[in-house]
């Protein structure tokens, strides 16, 4: 096994490119000995801080994005479809969701990865609006990651003035460090080297930067599809 690599993934739950990157990186956690640090964060605050805008705000980009995501979903064998009116329907705003995810990371880190996966599926497979109680409620549905009491408690904590301020300040600090969108990926090698990557299509670039001990061999490095 190659030397461990710390990898921080900054993501938002309604960012389709973040979903692809999350899935791609999870598949390489063992082959590349990744120490995966999931960092849920509100994309809107990053965009506001650095003056960026959602790709779908440009009609040509929006059309291309839908077609490209369809290909990527097939490539990664994901049940993934953009909900109607994405991303401008107010029912898809993730501010409160990302406030919740920040608290979840702090208080229940052991379920963060599975919770992230479940919420991506809830949004992109079932198209459940993020503003619906059923969205976060899916975390306490069988097989439950949180009890109803835990869900209520964490939701209350997420609405504290302190958590709201920290969600914004952390996103602004990330933008000050150079981030302009999600997924934003930061890698740190054991030799002290550090580099940031943007986007879901950087696996070969990451492999090259890490070195020959970290070969990229496609979207299914451990032959998971053949065992399904």
Q: Which residues are catalytic?
A: 15
pLDDT in tens, 199-224: 999 999 999 999 999 999 999 999 86
Helices (H), the chain: 16-27, 43-50, 59-75, 95-107, 112-124, 133-137, 148-158, 161-176, 203-210
What average pLDDT does the segment 61-79 reach? 91
List the CATH number of the domain containing 162: 3.40.30.10
pLDDT of the residue at 224? 65
Please tell me the distance from the alpha carbon of residue 161 to that of residue 1, in angstroms, as a whole number.
Answer: 44
- pLDDT-above-70 percentage for the chain: 98
d(CA 59, CA 127): 22
Number of domains making up the chain: 1
Q: How would you class 37 by CB atoms within 10 Å of its CB: exposed for 0-12, middle for 13-18, buried for 19 or more?
A: middle
Q: Which domain holds residue 39?
A: 5-227
d(CA 105, CA 95): 16
Write out pLDDT tens, residues 50-59: 998 877 777 7
């Amino acid at each position: 096994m190659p030397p461990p690599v710390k990898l921080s993934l900054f993501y938002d739950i309604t960012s389709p490119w973040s979903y692809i990157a999350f899935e791609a990186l999870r598949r390489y956690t063992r082959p590349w000995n990744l120490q995966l640090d999931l960092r849920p964060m509100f994309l809107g605050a990053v965009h506001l801080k650095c003056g960026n805008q959602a790709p779908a705000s440009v009609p040509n980009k929006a059309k291309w994005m839908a077609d490209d995501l369809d290909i990527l979903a097939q490539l990664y064998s994901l049940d993934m479809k953009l909900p109607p009116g994405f991303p401008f329907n107010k029912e898809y705003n993730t501010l409160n969701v990302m406030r919740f995810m920040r608290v979840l990371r702090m208080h229940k880190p052991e379920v963060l990865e599975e919770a992230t996966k479940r919420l991506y599926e809830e949004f992109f497979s079932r198209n459940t609006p993020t503003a619906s109680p059923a969205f976060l409620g899916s975390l306490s549905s069988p097989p439950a990651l949180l009890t109803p009491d835990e869900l209520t408690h964490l939701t209350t904590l997420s609405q504290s003035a302190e958590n709201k301020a920290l969600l914004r300040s952390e996103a602004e600090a990330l933008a000050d460090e150079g981030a302009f969108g999600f997924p934003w990926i930061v890698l740190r090698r054991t030799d002290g080297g550090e580099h940031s990557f943007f986007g879901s299509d950087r696996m070969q670039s990451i492999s090259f930067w890490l070195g020959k001990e970290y070969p990229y061999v496609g979207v299914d490095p451990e032959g998971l599809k053949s065992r399904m």
